[in-house]
Amino acid sequence: MHYLSISGLPMIEEDEATGELVAVYEETKQVLDMPYVPNFTKAMAISPSMGRVPLALYGAFYQNTSLPQALIAMISYCIPTAKNCHYCSANGELHCRSLGIDEETLEKLAKDLGSINPKRIQAIIQFALKCALDPQSLTAVDYDQVRDQGVSDEELLEIILIAAVANFSDTLADALKIEVDAPVLEALGR
């Protein structure tokens, strides 16, 4: 076991897990389809029951969403990038790359969202960012702009949920002071 450098909270490695934590780690790998337990989960290991909360949220969300995975990945990259969450933006970038989103598009998502095409994707991501960064400022015009791109009410709700889940993840990762997982850094060439 080691301790997170800033928060001082313990991180329990997979080979140190016992009891209920072993089950949480196995569920995490299964739900997230990963060969390793991410730091996100290890940082919550002091409370296995609380460690299941994000897992249940992510599992329920991904099992019930109808939006394309690439769109979810782009939103899930843009929000933590805008919020400067290194852990979540690195994972979001890797998810985008694994779905074939190219370097030029990633650069536009991070620095020039107005140049993203098609316009429908741009409008959806801009709306999601506003939901995540300044939800109090949303007006009827914001909703209409997304609906004008053919977004259904069901899709609109899913976009709002993606923004909320991204904020949830960013808050946990930043508050726990989690470092980006070594396999993620390696896959990104860092």
Instruction: List pLDDT tens digits, range 163-187.
Output: 999 999 999 999 999 999 999 999 9
Whether residues 47 and 77 fall in one domain: no
Whether residues 147 and 92 fall in one domain: yes
Task: Please report, for the domain that includes residue 108, its CATH number.
Answer: 1.20.1290.10
What is the distance between the alpha carbons of residues 18 and 27, in angstroms, rounded to a whole number?
A: 14
Q: What is the pLDDT of residue 55?
A: 87
Q: Are residues 85 and 93 in contact, defined by beta-carbon separation less than 8 angstroms?
A: no
Whether residues 55 and 77 fall in one domain: no
Whether residues 124 and 161 fall in one domain: yes
Structural domains in the chain (count): 2
What is the distance between the alpha carbons of residues 75 and 109, in angstroms, rounded to a whole number?
A: 9
Whether residues 78 and 44 fall in one domain: no
Whether residues 181 and 114 fall in one domain: yes
- Cα separation values, 82 from 76, 122, 189, Å: 10, 15, 22
Q: What is the pLDDT of residue 164?
A: 97
Residue 153 domain boundaries? 69-187
Q: Which residue has the tokens 């109808």?
A: 66
What is the distance between the alpha carbons of residues 18 and 62, in angstroms, rounded to a whole number?
A: 28
pTM: 0.92
**Percent of all residues in the chain with a pLDDT value above 70, rounded to a whole number:** 100
Whether residues 98 and 152 fall in one domain: yes
Q: What is the pLDDT of residue 176?
A: 93
Q: Output the average pLDDT for the chain.
A: 94
Whether residues 92 and 172 fall in one domain: yes
Last residue of a domain, one of 24, 44, 64: 64
Last residue of a domain, one of 64, 87, 116: 64
Whether residues 44 and 82 fall in one domain: no
Spans in the chain with pLDDT lower than 70? none
Whether residues 143 and 103 fall in one domain: yes
